[in-house]
Structure 1
Amino acid sequence: MKDFFIDIFEYHHFFNEKLIIEFKTHKSEIPPSTYALFCHCLNAHQIWNARVLKEVELGLHQLHHLEDLPKLNLQNHSKTIQIINEFDFAQLITYQNSKGKNFSNSVREILFHIANHHTHHRGQIISEFRKNNIEPLVTDYIFYKRNN
């Protein structure tokens, strides 16, 4: 299962890097709300990593400077790989959500949630690219596997 999750997060990291390039290339054409959604994706990834690792969390809707996104993406990826390598997937993590309510979920559930959350919002971002006449990246997992 470790290899599977590493592969999934390599895929997400790869396409986050590509999306950052697209945001730089089409900065004036992309609506601020689409950029904010991508920041939200990176923030949520950091927040879940921080919950597992007991670190300080970013704000869920915090905006970042475009030039800071590659570093945040790399930090997220590195921390997730650390979690995959160091934690038992069945281990329960107790945390507070953004509203202060307590929950517990397994590391496996959290990892799946991070990946699923990225996929969901990446689809929304791609849709926004199309609406703004920007040729979207093909970000399907199988396409990634065929070419990497």
Structure 2
Amino acid sequence: MFERFQKLFRYEAEANAKVIASLRSVPGANHRQPEYRRAMGIFGHILAARQIWLFRLGGNVTSTTDLHPELRDAEHAADLALGLDAAWTDYTLHLTDARLRQVIDYTSTEGRRFRTRVEDILGHVLMHSAYHRGQIAMLVRQAGGEPAVTDYIFAVRETLD
């Protein structure tokens, strides 16, 4: 099972790189448009959530409480994403099936205490990012850019002809 999560987090890094490319495709004159600013804000939220969850899981990142950090530009987003991708890769390389079954206690950003299995947290991180990447694609198109195609099937299928 842990190998599956390793594969899914490799896809996650590739999908986020495509999102960054799509943000870069928005013409500079449109960077002040609300659609572009919102797309950048959502991507910042994806990165913050990934950092928060990795910290809770004991990964090699610092804690943050800001769920909506402001990204200066696509280069800033790329730098943050690459650092998080490296940290998630390191974390998933040390996964075991036993670790996936473990339950961790944590405090939410609202201050509530919860207990959740590691495999369920990992699933949440992946689905949360995918959900928001869809929102970003729509906003990038509205801002005049080329939306990223980040559906999982495009990352794994093989062409037969």
- Normalised by the size of structure 2, how large is the TM-score? 0.81
For 2:19, the aligned partner's letter is L
Deviation string, structure 1 residues 74-121 (Cα, Å, up to 9, x no partner) = 222222233323341011121111111111111111110100001100
Tell whether 2:132 aligns with 1:134. Answer: no
> Structure 2, unaligned stretches of length 5 or more?
none
Larger radius of gyration: 2
What is the count of residue pairs matched by the alignment? 148
Q: Deviations over 1:11-52 (max 9, x none)?
A: 111121121122223154352111100110011001100111
Assess if the C-alpha contact under 8 Å between 2:105 and 2:115 holds in 1. Answer: yes
Kindly indicate whether residue 57 of structure 2 is the aligned counterpart of residue 52 of structure 1. Answer: yes
Residue aligned with 1:93, SS: strand
Which region of structure 1 is more displaced relative to structure 2, 43-52 or 58-67? 58-67
Shift of 1:9: 1.0
Aligned to 1:14: 14
Q: 1:109 to 1:32 in 2, by over 3 A?
A: same
Aligned-pair identity (%): 31
State the alpha-carbon separation in 2 of the partners of residues 138 and 56 from structure 1: 30
* 1:108 matched to 2:128: no
1:95 is the counterpart of 2:106: yes
Q: Classify the secondary structure of the residue corresponding to 1:105.
A: strand
Distance 2:135 2:36 in 1: 13
Counterpart CA distance in 2 for 1:129 and 1:24 is 10
- Root-mean-square deviation over aligned CA pairs: 2.1
Q: 2:40 aligns with which of 35, 41, 55?
A: 35
Residue among 61, 67, 74 paired with 2:68: 61
SS at structure 2 position matched to 1:134 = coil
Show structure 1 runs of 4+ deviating over 6 A.
none
Change (3 A) 1:70 1:135: closer
Tell me the SS of whatever aligns to 2:57: helix
